[in-house]
Amino acid sequence: MDQDPRNEQRPPHQEPYNYHNYQQRQHESIDIDYERQRAAATRDYTTPAVITLILYFVCWLPGIIANVIYYLQAQKDEAMIGRAPQGKGCLLALLLVFNGLIALGVLVYCLLIVFSGAIAAV
């Protein structure tokens, strides 16, 4: 009882090449790219900016982590769609204000230490 060799199950890498399947997979990848662009175009970062603001008031470290993550994602979306998504400016302002204030406070504190030592030496 010999079996017909054409009816055997073959591993996927030994299947005959089917151009229609290739075209269908290529079309599906184009649809996925289109959907990613469409989703990025409608994404709004205003709510994440408000969440980040609340996190900054609760504790600075979670706020900076969330701010950087959301801002980097907004930059990726901007590169994908060609324009800045809504709320990206809010994230940048939070990043500059809260971290700029910390840096300014540290600088003023260091200057006070240096000048108080210089005044005490006189």
Whether the Cβ atoms of residue 73 and residue 28 lie closer than 8 Å to each other: no
How far apart (Å, rounded) are the C-alpha atoms in residues 4 and 96? 73
- Predicted local distance difference test score (pLDDT) of residue 32: 76
- 4-33 residue pLDDT tens: 555 566 555 555 555 556 556 666 666 777
How far apart (Å, rounded) are the C-alpha atoms in residues 66 and 68? 6
- 107-121 residue pLDDT tens: 999 999 888 877 777
Per the prediction, the chain carries an average pLDDT of 81
User: Virtual CA dihedral for 53, 59, 65, 69, nearest 10 degrees?
Assistant: -20
**Token digits of residue 24:** 């269908």
Indicate the residue type of 41. Answer: A
